[in-house]
A and B are shown apart, each in its own frame.
Chain A
Amino acid sequence: MARMKFLCDADRCIECNACVTACKNEHEVPWGINRRRVVTINDGKPGERSVSMACMHCTDAPCQAVCPVNCFYTTADGVVLHSKDLCIGCGYCFYACPFGAPQYPKVGNFGSRGKMDKCTYCAGGPEADGSQEEYEKYGANRLAEGKLPLCAEMCSTKSLLAGDGEIIAQIYKERVVKRGYGSGAWGWKTAYRETIAS
Protein backbone atom coordinates (compact mmCIF):
# COMPACT_ATOMS: atom_id res chain seq x y z
CA MET A 1 0.00 0.00 0.00
CA ALA A 2 1.19 3.47 -0.77
CA ARG A 3 1.94 5.96 1.98
CA MET A 4 0.52 9.21 0.66
CA LYS A 5 2.39 12.43 1.43
CA PHE A 6 2.67 16.01 0.28
CA LEU A 7 5.96 17.62 -0.66
CA CYS A 8 6.38 21.28 -1.54
CA ASP A 9 9.54 22.06 -3.48
CA ALA A 10 10.00 25.63 -2.25
CA ASP A 11 12.60 26.33 -4.93
CA ARG A 12 9.89 25.88 -7.54
CA CYS A 13 6.89 27.51 -5.87
CA ILE A 14 6.06 30.82 -7.58
CA GLU A 15 3.29 31.77 -5.12
CA CYS A 16 0.59 31.73 -7.75
CA ASN A 17 -1.95 30.46 -5.19
CA ALA A 18 -3.63 28.27 -7.78
CA CYS A 19 -3.49 25.30 -5.37
CA VAL A 20 -5.44 27.38 -2.84
CA THR A 21 -8.11 28.30 -5.37
CA ALA A 22 -8.32 24.82 -6.86
CA CYS A 23 -8.84 23.32 -3.41
CA LYS A 24 -11.53 25.81 -2.46
CA ASN A 25 -13.36 25.23 -5.72
CA GLU A 26 -13.03 21.46 -5.88
CA HIS A 27 -14.46 20.93 -2.41
CA GLU A 28 -16.79 23.92 -2.11
CA VAL A 29 -14.88 24.79 1.06
CA PRO A 30 -16.98 27.08 3.31
CA TRP A 31 -16.36 30.81 3.40
CA GLY A 32 -13.53 31.77 5.72
CA ILE A 33 -11.82 28.38 5.62
CA ASN A 34 -8.71 27.60 3.60
CA ARG A 35 -7.62 24.01 3.59
CA ARG A 36 -4.44 24.99 1.78
CA ARG A 37 -2.52 28.24 1.76
CA VAL A 38 0.72 29.59 0.37
CA VAL A 39 3.05 31.36 2.78
CA THR A 40 6.02 33.44 1.69
CA ILE A 41 8.94 33.58 4.07
CA ASN A 42 11.34 36.53 4.01
CA ASP A 43 9.03 38.22 1.57
CA GLY A 44 10.86 40.77 -0.61
CA LYS A 45 14.26 39.90 0.82
CA PRO A 46 17.02 37.93 -0.87
CA GLY A 47 16.39 34.23 -0.57
CA GLU A 48 12.65 34.49 -0.05
CA ARG A 49 10.79 31.21 -0.48
CA SER A 50 7.13 30.34 -0.79
CA VAL A 51 5.70 27.16 0.66
CA SER A 52 2.28 25.71 -0.03
CA MET A 53 1.02 24.17 3.18
CA ALA A 54 -2.01 22.14 4.24
CA CYS A 55 -2.60 19.15 6.47
CA MET A 56 0.52 17.00 6.04
CA HIS A 57 -1.25 13.75 7.01
CA CYS A 58 1.34 13.12 9.70
CA THR A 59 2.70 9.80 10.82
CA ASP A 60 1.36 9.25 14.36
CA ALA A 61 -0.82 12.34 13.87
CA PRO A 62 -1.05 14.64 16.92
CA CYS A 63 -4.65 15.62 16.09
CA GLN A 64 -5.67 11.99 16.18
CA ALA A 65 -3.85 11.47 19.48
CA VAL A 66 -5.44 14.37 21.35
CA CYS A 67 -9.01 14.18 20.01
CA PRO A 68 -11.28 13.64 23.05
CA VAL A 69 -13.89 11.78 20.97
CA ASN A 70 -11.45 9.85 18.74
CA CYS A 71 -13.00 11.15 15.53
CA PHE A 72 -9.81 10.80 13.44
CA TYR A 73 -8.68 7.74 11.54
CA THR A 74 -5.73 7.00 9.29
CA THR A 75 -6.58 5.22 6.06
CA ALA A 76 -4.58 2.35 4.59
CA ASP A 77 -2.95 4.97 2.33
CA GLY A 78 -1.71 6.93 5.33
CA VAL A 79 -4.26 9.72 4.87
CA VAL A 80 -5.54 11.27 8.11
CA LEU A 81 -9.31 11.78 7.91
CA HIS A 82 -11.99 12.62 10.45
CA SER A 83 -15.70 12.18 11.04
CA LYS A 84 -17.72 15.38 11.25
CA ASP A 85 -20.52 13.37 12.84
CA LEU A 86 -18.34 12.60 15.84
CA CYS A 87 -16.42 15.92 16.05
CA ILE A 88 -17.60 18.15 18.91
CA GLY A 89 -15.59 21.22 17.88
CA CYS A 90 -13.52 21.40 21.05
CA GLY A 91 -10.41 22.82 19.36
CA TYR A 92 -7.89 20.36 20.75
CA CYS A 93 -6.64 19.12 17.36
CA PHE A 94 -5.97 22.69 16.50
CA TYR A 95 -3.81 23.23 19.59
CA ALA A 96 -1.82 20.11 18.71
CA CYS A 97 -1.46 20.51 14.94
CA PRO A 98 2.00 21.76 13.88
CA PHE A 99 0.66 22.99 10.53
CA GLY A 100 -2.44 24.94 11.52
CA ALA A 101 -4.59 22.62 9.44
CA PRO A 102 -7.78 22.23 11.52
CA GLN A 103 -10.23 25.11 11.19
CA TYR A 104 -13.73 25.67 12.48
CA PRO A 105 -16.63 27.42 10.80
CA LYS A 106 -18.14 30.01 13.12
CA VAL A 107 -21.62 28.77 13.80
CA GLY A 108 -22.77 30.73 16.82
CA ASN A 109 -22.39 33.87 18.77
CA PHE A 110 -19.43 33.20 20.99
CA GLY A 111 -16.61 30.74 20.50
CA SER A 112 -18.98 27.99 19.49
CA ARG A 113 -16.78 26.25 17.01
CA GLY A 114 -18.59 24.18 14.44
CA LYS A 115 -17.39 20.85 13.10
CA MET A 116 -13.70 20.93 12.30
CA ASP A 117 -12.70 21.15 8.64
CA LYS A 118 -9.33 20.32 7.15
CA CYS A 119 -7.60 18.97 4.05
CA THR A 120 -8.78 15.43 3.25
CA TYR A 121 -6.06 14.71 0.69
CA CYS A 122 -9.05 14.74 -1.70
CA ALA A 123 -10.13 11.51 -0.02
CA GLY A 124 -13.51 12.50 1.47
CA GLY A 125 -14.61 11.05 4.79
CA PRO A 126 -16.17 7.99 6.38
CA GLU A 127 -19.32 8.08 4.20
CA ALA A 128 -19.62 5.93 1.07
CA ASP A 129 -17.04 6.95 -1.54
CA GLY A 130 -18.41 9.55 -3.93
CA SER A 131 -21.77 9.88 -2.16
CA GLN A 132 -23.61 13.21 -2.02
CA GLU A 133 -23.42 13.12 1.78
CA GLU A 134 -19.64 12.74 1.67
CA TYR A 135 -19.31 15.56 -0.84
CA GLU A 136 -21.38 17.95 1.27
CA LYS A 137 -19.36 17.29 4.42
CA TYR A 138 -15.83 16.80 3.11
CA GLY A 139 -15.76 17.64 -0.59
CA ALA A 140 -14.74 15.54 -3.55
CA ASN A 141 -13.21 12.09 -3.17
CA ARG A 142 -10.67 12.09 -5.99
CA LEU A 143 -8.54 9.37 -4.42
CA ALA A 144 -11.43 6.89 -4.76
CA GLU A 145 -11.50 7.76 -8.47
CA GLY A 146 -7.80 6.99 -8.79
CA LYS A 147 -6.80 10.66 -8.96
CA LEU A 148 -4.33 12.54 -6.79
CA PRO A 149 -5.16 15.72 -4.85
CA LEU A 150 -6.11 18.51 -7.23
CA CYS A 151 -3.74 21.08 -5.71
CA ALA A 152 -0.73 18.98 -6.66
CA GLU A 153 -2.16 17.71 -9.94
CA MET A 154 -2.65 21.20 -11.33
CA CYS A 155 0.47 22.87 -9.87
CA SER A 156 1.96 24.70 -12.85
CA THR A 157 5.59 24.37 -11.78
CA LYS A 158 5.11 20.93 -10.23
CA SER A 159 6.37 22.44 -7.00
CA LEU A 160 3.68 20.71 -4.99
CA LEU A 161 3.96 16.96 -5.22
CA ALA A 162 1.44 14.45 -3.93
CA GLY A 163 1.61 10.69 -4.06
CA ASP A 164 3.43 7.82 -2.48
CA GLY A 165 6.05 9.21 -0.13
CA GLU A 166 8.90 7.16 -1.55
CA ILE A 167 8.13 8.14 -5.13
CA ILE A 168 7.80 11.88 -4.51
CA ALA A 169 10.93 11.81 -2.35
CA GLN A 170 12.76 10.16 -5.25
CA ILE A 171 11.50 12.82 -7.68
CA TYR A 172 12.65 15.54 -5.33
CA LYS A 173 16.06 13.94 -4.81
CA GLU A 174 16.61 13.71 -8.57
CA ARG A 175 15.69 17.39 -8.94
CA VAL A 176 18.15 18.37 -6.24
CA VAL A 177 20.93 16.35 -7.84
CA LYS A 178 20.21 17.73 -11.30
CA ARG A 179 19.97 21.41 -10.43
CA GLY A 180 22.50 21.25 -7.61
CA TYR A 181 20.41 22.76 -4.81
CA GLY A 182 17.30 22.34 -2.77
CA SER A 183 15.96 23.97 0.38
CA GLY A 184 14.58 20.69 1.67
CA ALA A 185 11.18 19.11 2.07
CA TRP A 186 9.38 21.61 4.31
CA GLY A 187 7.54 20.07 7.20
CA TRP A 188 8.75 16.52 6.62
CA LYS A 189 10.77 16.37 9.82
CA THR A 190 7.79 17.56 11.83
CA ALA A 191 5.19 15.45 10.04
CA TYR A 192 7.02 12.25 9.17
CA ARG A 193 10.14 12.41 11.40
CA GLU A 194 12.26 12.05 8.29
CA THR A 195 14.04 14.33 5.91
CA ILE A 196 15.22 14.19 2.33
CA ALA A 197 18.94 14.75 1.98
CA SER A 198 19.53 17.73 -0.27
Chain B
Amino acid sequence: MATVVTRNWFMCIRFIVGALVLAVIVAVVAPAGAQQRNPDNSVNPTASSVSEDKLFQELNRISGRCTIPDQKACTIEQPAGRDWRHFHEVTLRWIGAIAILGMLALLVFFYLFRGMVKIEAGRSGRVLRRFSTFERLVHWMTASCFVILAISGLNITFGRPLLLPLLGPDTFATWAQWAKYAHNYLSFPFTLGVVLICLMWIAGNLPTKVDVEWLKEGGGIVGHRHPHAYRFNAGQKAIYWIVVLGGGAVAASGYLLMFPFYGTNIADMQVAQVVHGVIALLFVAAMLGHIYIGTLGMEGAFEGMWDGTVDVNWAKQHHDLWLEQETSKGHVTAPPPEGKMQPAE
Protein backbone atom coordinates (compact mmCIF):
# COMPACT_ATOMS: atom_id res chain seq x y z
CA MET B 1 0.00 0.00 0.00
CA ALA B 2 2.80 2.36 0.95
CA THR B 3 4.56 1.71 -2.35
CA VAL B 4 1.47 2.76 -4.35
CA VAL B 5 1.28 6.08 -2.48
CA THR B 6 4.97 6.73 -3.09
CA ARG B 7 4.59 5.96 -6.81
CA ASN B 8 1.67 8.37 -7.15
CA TRP B 9 3.66 11.04 -5.36
CA PHE B 10 6.58 10.56 -7.75
CA MET B 11 4.28 10.73 -10.77
CA CYS B 12 2.87 13.96 -9.44
CA ILE B 13 6.34 15.52 -9.08
CA ARG B 14 7.36 14.29 -12.53
CA PHE B 15 4.26 15.93 -14.00
CA ILE B 16 4.98 19.25 -12.28
CA VAL B 17 8.64 19.28 -13.34
CA GLY B 18 7.72 18.33 -16.89
CA ALA B 19 5.14 21.11 -17.07
CA LEU B 20 7.68 23.65 -15.77
CA VAL B 21 10.29 22.60 -18.36
CA LEU B 22 7.72 22.89 -21.12
CA ALA B 23 6.70 26.33 -19.88
CA VAL B 24 10.32 27.50 -19.89
CA ILE B 25 10.88 26.19 -23.44
CA VAL B 26 7.73 27.90 -24.70
CA ALA B 27 8.67 31.13 -22.95
CA VAL B 28 12.15 31.12 -24.52
CA VAL B 29 11.09 30.13 -28.02
CA ALA B 30 7.92 32.22 -28.27
CA PRO B 31 9.58 35.64 -28.81
CA ALA B 32 11.83 34.19 -31.49
CA GLY B 33 8.83 32.66 -33.17
CA ALA B 34 6.97 35.95 -32.98
CA GLN B 35 9.68 37.60 -35.15
CA GLN B 36 8.91 35.20 -37.96
CA ARG B 37 5.41 36.61 -38.25
CA ASN B 38 3.93 39.62 -39.96
CA PRO B 39 1.81 42.10 -37.98
CA ASP B 40 -1.32 40.27 -39.16
CA ASN B 41 0.11 37.05 -37.68
CA SER B 42 0.88 35.45 -41.07
CA VAL B 43 4.25 33.76 -41.44
CA ASN B 44 7.04 35.96 -42.85
CA PRO B 45 9.66 33.68 -44.39
CA THR B 46 11.97 36.57 -45.26
CA ALA B 47 12.36 37.72 -41.65
CA SER B 48 15.68 35.92 -41.37
CA SER B 49 16.53 35.82 -45.08
CA VAL B 50 19.71 37.27 -46.51
CA SER B 51 19.37 40.74 -47.98
CA GLU B 52 21.47 42.25 -50.74
CA ASP B 53 22.00 45.54 -48.92
CA LYS B 54 23.12 43.86 -45.72
CA LEU B 55 25.56 41.63 -47.57
CA PHE B 56 27.05 44.62 -49.37
CA GLN B 57 27.55 46.34 -46.03
CA GLU B 58 29.54 43.39 -44.76
CA LEU B 59 31.67 42.89 -47.86
CA ASN B 60 32.04 44.64 -51.15
CA ARG B 61 30.83 41.53 -52.94
CA ILE B 62 28.29 38.77 -52.60
CA SER B 63 29.32 35.14 -52.84
CA GLY B 64 27.65 31.86 -52.12
CA ARG B 65 27.79 28.23 -53.11
CA CYS B 66 27.25 26.99 -56.61
CA THR B 67 27.22 23.53 -58.11
CA ILE B 68 29.08 24.15 -61.36
CA PRO B 69 32.78 23.25 -61.48
CA ASP B 70 33.89 26.85 -62.05
CA GLN B 71 33.94 28.03 -58.45
CA LYS B 72 34.71 31.61 -59.50
CA ALA B 73 31.10 31.79 -60.68
CA CYS B 74 29.98 31.55 -57.04
CA THR B 75 30.52 35.29 -56.68
CA ILE B 76 27.37 36.88 -58.02
CA GLU B 77 27.98 40.57 -57.49
CA GLN B 78 31.09 42.76 -57.14
CA PRO B 79 30.31 46.40 -57.88
CA ALA B 80 33.95 47.47 -57.33
CA GLY B 81 34.34 47.25 -61.10
CA ARG B 82 32.66 50.65 -61.22
CA ASP B 83 35.60 52.33 -59.46
CA TRP B 84 38.03 50.47 -61.66
CA ARG B 85 36.09 51.58 -64.70
CA HIS B 86 36.45 55.21 -63.65
CA PHE B 87 40.16 54.69 -63.15
CA HIS B 88 40.58 53.13 -66.58
CA GLU B 89 38.42 55.63 -68.43
CA VAL B 90 39.39 58.85 -66.68
CA THR B 91 42.22 58.70 -64.14
CA LEU B 92 44.67 56.58 -66.13
CA ARG B 93 44.15 58.63 -69.29
CA TRP B 94 44.89 61.84 -67.41
CA ILE B 95 47.98 60.36 -65.79
CA GLY B 96 49.21 59.11 -69.15
CA ALA B 97 48.46 62.31 -71.02
CA ILE B 98 50.13 64.51 -68.42
CA ALA B 99 53.16 62.26 -68.01
CA ILE B 100 53.85 61.63 -71.69
CA LEU B 101 52.81 64.94 -73.23
CA GLY B 102 54.39 66.77 -70.30
CA MET B 103 57.67 64.95 -70.85
CA LEU B 104 57.59 65.60 -74.60
CA ALA B 105 56.87 69.29 -74.04
CA LEU B 106 59.67 69.47 -71.51
CA LEU B 107 62.10 67.83 -73.92
CA VAL B 108 61.15 70.12 -76.81
CA PHE B 109 61.49 73.15 -74.56
CA PHE B 110 64.79 71.86 -73.21
CA TYR B 111 66.15 71.17 -76.69
CA LEU B 112 65.23 74.66 -77.87
CA PHE B 113 66.72 76.17 -74.76
CA ARG B 114 69.86 74.11 -74.38
CA GLY B 115 70.34 72.30 -77.67
CA MET B 116 72.67 69.33 -78.02
CA VAL B 117 75.34 69.16 -75.37
CA LYS B 118 78.53 69.15 -77.39
CA ILE B 119 81.86 67.55 -76.66
CA GLU B 120 83.48 70.79 -75.58
CA ALA B 121 87.05 69.87 -76.45
CA GLY B 122 85.99 68.36 -79.77
CA ARG B 123 86.60 64.75 -80.70
CA SER B 124 90.04 63.48 -79.80
CA GLY B 125 89.93 60.66 -82.32
CA ARG B 126 90.87 58.27 -79.53
CA VAL B 127 88.17 55.97 -78.24
CA LEU B 128 87.68 53.63 -75.33
CA ARG B 129 85.30 50.78 -74.83
CA ARG B 130 82.19 51.66 -72.85
CA PHE B 131 79.81 48.73 -73.29
CA SER B 132 80.65 45.14 -74.21
CA THR B 133 78.82 43.30 -76.98
CA PHE B 134 76.81 41.39 -74.40
CA GLU B 135 75.80 44.57 -72.60
CA ARG B 136 74.69 46.17 -75.85
CA LEU B 137 72.81 43.04 -76.89
CA VAL B 138 70.91 43.00 -73.59
CA HIS B 139 70.25 46.75 -73.80
CA TRP B 140 68.84 46.62 -77.32
CA MET B 141 66.81 43.47 -76.69
CA THR B 142 65.18 45.13 -73.68
CA ALA B 143 64.82 48.44 -75.50
CA SER B 144 63.20 47.01 -78.62
CA CYS B 145 60.81 44.92 -76.51
CA PHE B 146 60.05 48.00 -74.43
CA VAL B 147 59.13 50.08 -77.46
CA ILE B 148 56.71 47.43 -78.76
CA LEU B 149 55.29 46.81 -75.27
CA ALA B 150 54.81 50.54 -74.79
CA ILE B 151 53.04 51.07 -78.11
CA SER B 152 50.80 48.01 -77.70
CA GLY B 153 50.08 48.98 -74.10
CA LEU B 154 49.27 52.58 -74.97
CA ASN B 155 46.94 51.18 -77.62
CA ILE B 156 44.85 49.51 -74.91
CA THR B 157 44.39 52.78 -73.02
CA PHE B 158 44.40 55.35 -75.81
CA GLY B 159 43.65 53.35 -78.97
CA ARG B 160 39.89 53.52 -78.70
CA PRO B 161 39.60 57.31 -78.55
CA LEU B 162 42.56 58.09 -80.84
CA LEU B 163 43.15 55.28 -83.35
CA LEU B 164 39.75 53.59 -83.68
CA PRO B 165 38.09 56.56 -85.42
CA LEU B 166 40.97 56.66 -87.92
CA LEU B 167 41.26 52.95 -88.69
CA GLY B 168 37.66 51.80 -88.40
CA PRO B 169 36.48 48.95 -86.17
CA ASP B 170 37.74 45.96 -88.18
CA THR B 171 41.24 47.21 -88.96
CA PHE B 172 41.64 48.51 -85.45
CA ALA B 173 40.50 45.21 -83.90
CA THR B 174 42.97 43.27 -86.08
CA TRP B 175 45.80 45.59 -85.12
CA ALA B 176 44.79 45.45 -81.45
CA GLN B 177 44.69 41.65 -81.55
CA TRP B 178 48.27 41.47 -82.89
CA ALA B 179 49.32 44.15 -80.45
CA LYS B 180 47.94 42.05 -77.60
CA TYR B 181 49.83 38.96 -78.79
CA ALA B 182 53.01 41.02 -79.08
CA HIS B 183 52.42 42.49 -75.63
CA ASN B 184 51.98 39.06 -74.06
CA TYR B 185 54.85 37.25 -75.79
CA LEU B 186 57.46 40.04 -75.77
CA SER B 187 56.98 40.39 -72.03
CA PHE B 188 59.23 37.35 -71.64
CA PRO B 189 62.38 38.69 -73.37
CA PHE B 190 61.68 42.07 -71.76
CA THR B 191 61.60 40.55 -68.28
CA LEU B 192 64.75 38.59 -69.04
CA GLY B 193 66.38 41.83 -70.16
CA VAL B 194 65.37 43.62 -66.96
CA VAL B 195 66.84 40.79 -64.88
CA LEU B 196 70.11 40.83 -66.85
CA ILE B 197 70.33 44.64 -66.67
CA CYS B 198 69.77 44.42 -62.94
CA LEU B 199 72.58 41.91 -62.51
CA MET B 200 75.19 43.18 -64.97
CA TRP B 201 75.09 46.86 -64.03
CA ILE B 202 74.25 46.79 -60.33
CA ALA B 203 77.90 47.21 -59.27
CA GLY B 204 78.19 50.57 -61.01
CA ASN B 205 74.78 51.83 -59.95
CA LEU B 206 74.90 51.81 -56.16
CA PRO B 207 74.61 55.39 -54.88
CA THR B 208 77.87 56.99 -53.67
CA LYS B 209 79.01 60.35 -52.33
CA VAL B 210 80.03 61.39 -55.84
CA ASP B 211 76.35 61.28 -56.83
CA VAL B 212 75.39 63.83 -54.19
CA GLU B 213 77.92 66.29 -55.58
CA TRP B 214 76.83 65.51 -59.12
CA LEU B 215 73.20 66.22 -58.27
CA LYS B 216 74.12 69.47 -56.48
CA GLU B 217 75.91 70.66 -59.61
CA GLY B 218 72.86 69.83 -61.71
CA GLY B 219 74.61 67.09 -63.65
CA GLY B 220 76.12 67.32 -67.08
CA ILE B 221 73.02 68.22 -69.04
CA VAL B 222 71.13 70.70 -66.88
CA GLY B 223 74.15 72.37 -65.32
CA HIS B 224 77.03 73.75 -67.38
CA ARG B 225 79.86 72.52 -65.20
CA HIS B 226 81.00 68.93 -65.37
CA PRO B 227 80.81 67.30 -61.98
CA HIS B 228 82.85 64.19 -61.32
CA ALA B 229 81.33 60.84 -62.17
CA TYR B 230 82.43 57.22 -62.37
CA ARG B 231 81.08 54.90 -65.04
CA PHE B 232 77.48 55.88 -64.27
CA ASN B 233 76.46 59.31 -63.02
CA ALA B 234 73.48 59.93 -60.75
CA GLY B 235 71.12 60.52 -63.68
CA GLN B 236 72.07 57.22 -65.26
CA LYS B 237 71.72 55.52 -61.91
CA ALA B 238 68.22 56.93 -61.66
CA ILE B 239 67.42 55.43 -65.08
CA TYR B 240 68.91 52.12 -63.92
CA TRP B 241 66.69 52.01 -60.85
CA ILE B 242 63.63 53.09 -62.81
CA VAL B 243 64.25 50.21 -65.21
CA VAL B 244 64.95 47.66 -62.49
CA LEU B 245 62.20 48.63 -60.04
CA GLY B 246 59.66 49.92 -62.57
CA GLY B 247 60.33 47.05 -64.95
CA GLY B 248 60.07 44.58 -62.09
CA ALA B 249 56.74 46.02 -60.94
CA VAL B 250 55.35 46.14 -64.47
CA ALA B 251 56.45 42.57 -65.13
CA ALA B 252 55.03 41.23 -61.86
CA SER B 253 51.68 42.99 -62.23
CA GLY B 254 51.56 42.05 -65.91
CA TYR B 255 52.04 38.36 -65.23
CA LEU B 256 49.25 38.47 -62.64
CA LEU B 257 46.99 39.79 -65.38
CA MET B 258 48.27 37.33 -67.95
CA PHE B 259 47.57 34.38 -65.68
CA PRO B 260 44.12 35.15 -64.29
CA PHE B 261 43.09 33.55 -61.00
CA TYR B 262 46.56 32.23 -60.18
CA GLY B 263 46.42 33.44 -56.61
CA THR B 264 44.24 36.40 -57.50
CA ASN B 265 40.58 37.24 -57.66
CA ILE B 266 38.94 39.93 -59.73
CA ALA B 267 39.51 42.63 -57.09
CA ASP B 268 43.24 41.75 -57.03
CA MET B 269 43.40 41.89 -60.81
CA GLN B 270 41.84 45.35 -60.75
CA VAL B 271 44.62 46.45 -58.40
CA ALA B 272 47.21 44.76 -60.60
CA GLN B 273 45.88 46.60 -63.64
CA VAL B 274 46.02 49.93 -61.77
CA VAL B 275 49.65 49.29 -60.76
CA HIS B 276 50.55 48.06 -64.24
CA GLY B 277 48.94 51.01 -66.01
CA VAL B 278 50.28 53.79 -63.80
CA ILE B 279 53.84 52.49 -63.56
CA ALA B 280 53.99 51.66 -67.26
CA LEU B 281 52.92 55.18 -68.26
CA LEU B 282 55.44 56.81 -65.92
CA PHE B 283 58.02 54.34 -67.25
CA VAL B 284 57.29 55.44 -70.82
CA ALA B 285 57.67 59.09 -69.82
CA ALA B 286 61.00 58.37 -68.12
CA MET B 287 62.26 56.43 -71.13
CA LEU B 288 61.41 59.34 -73.44
CA GLY B 289 63.84 61.37 -71.37
CA HIS B 290 66.41 58.57 -71.57
CA ILE B 291 66.04 58.34 -75.36
CA TYR B 292 66.39 62.11 -75.69
CA ILE B 293 69.65 62.29 -73.75
CA GLY B 294 71.01 59.24 -75.53
CA THR B 295 70.37 60.69 -79.00
CA LEU B 296 69.48 64.34 -79.60
CA GLY B 297 70.44 65.65 -76.21
CA MET B 298 74.12 64.79 -76.09
CA GLU B 299 76.86 64.49 -78.68
CA GLY B 300 78.90 61.34 -78.44
CA ALA B 301 76.55 59.42 -76.14
CA PHE B 302 74.68 57.21 -78.62
CA GLU B 303 77.82 55.57 -80.05
CA GLY B 304 78.65 54.17 -76.62
CA MET B 305 75.61 51.92 -76.80
CA TRP B 306 75.71 51.42 -80.58
CA ASP B 307 79.40 50.82 -81.39
CA GLY B 308 80.37 50.16 -77.80
CA THR B 309 83.03 52.87 -77.75
CA VAL B 310 83.10 56.53 -76.78
CA ASP B 311 85.49 59.34 -77.53
CA VAL B 312 88.08 59.98 -74.84
CA ASN B 313 87.13 63.65 -74.68
CA TRP B 314 83.48 62.70 -74.15
CA ALA B 315 84.54 60.45 -71.30
CA LYS B 316 86.70 63.21 -69.82
CA GLN B 317 83.77 65.61 -69.90
CA HIS B 318 81.09 63.33 -68.49
CA HIS B 319 82.79 60.44 -66.71
CA ASP B 320 86.21 61.74 -65.65
CA LEU B 321 86.71 59.35 -62.75
CA TRP B 322 85.77 56.39 -64.92
CA LEU B 323 88.26 57.54 -67.58
CA GLU B 324 90.98 57.70 -64.93
CA GLN B 325 90.17 54.14 -63.86
CA GLU B 326 90.21 52.88 -67.44
CA THR B 327 93.43 54.71 -68.25
CA SER B 328 95.16 53.28 -65.22
CA LYS B 329 94.05 49.81 -66.34
CA GLY B 330 95.57 50.51 -69.75
CA HIS B 331 92.24 50.28 -71.57
CA VAL B 332 92.61 53.57 -73.39
CA THR B 333 94.67 53.18 -76.55
CA ALA B 334 95.33 55.12 -79.69
CA PRO B 335 92.78 54.43 -82.44
CA PRO B 336 93.57 52.79 -85.74
CA PRO B 337 93.79 55.30 -88.59
CA GLU B 338 90.31 54.39 -89.98
CA GLY B 339 88.63 56.00 -86.97
CA LYS B 340 86.33 55.14 -84.21
CA MET B 341 84.17 52.51 -85.91
CA GLN B 342 86.78 49.89 -85.07
CA PRO B 343 86.74 48.31 -81.65
CA ALA B 344 89.30 49.88 -79.34
CA GLU B 345 91.13 46.67 -78.50
Contacts and interface: CB of A to CB of B under 8 A. Distances in A.
A68 B64 contact: no
B62 interface: yes
A38 B66 contact: yes
Interface string B55-67: 1000000111111
Dominant secondary structure at the A interface? loop
Contacts of B75: 39, 100
A89 B180 contact: yes
Interface string A17-50: 1001000000000001010011111110011111
A146 interface: no
Nearest to A98: B79
B65 A65 contact: no
Contact of A40 (B66, B84, B160): B66
A42 B67 contact: no
B29 to A, nearest CB: 14
Interface stretch (B6-14, B218-226, B265-273): B265-273
Contacts of B170: 85-86
Nearest to A112: B184
B45 A95 contact: no
B258 A32 contact: no
Interface residues of B, number: 59
A94 B180 contact: no
A121 to B, nearest CB: 18
B3 interface: no
A169 to B, nearest CB: 16
B120 interface: no
Nearest to B82: A62
Contact of A37 (B62, B68, B156): B68
Interface residues of A, number: 56
Contact of B76 (A47, A53, A92): A53
B38 interface: yes
B328 interface: no
B70 A34 contact: yes
Contact of B51 (A40, A94, A184): A184
A39 B63 contact: yes
Contacts of B269: 91, 95
B89 interface: yes
B176 A39 contact: no
Closest 3 CB pairs of A and B: A47-B48, A41-B64, A47-B49
Given A92-B88, A94-B266, A99-B77, 9 more contacts: A32-B69, A39-B64, A40-B65, A47-B50, A66-B84, A88-B173, A96-B82, A181-B45, A182-B46
18 contacts: A11-B45, A32-B69, A40-B65, A40-B66, A41-B76, A42-B50, A66-B89, A69-B159, A69-B160, A71-B169, A71-B173, A88-B180, A91-B269, A95-B266, A98-B80, A180-B38, A184-B53, A187-B77
Interface of B: 38, 42, 44-53, 55, 62-70, 72-82, 84-85, 88-89, 155-157, 159-160, 164, 169-170, 172-173, 176-177, 180, 184, 257-260, 266, 269-270, 273
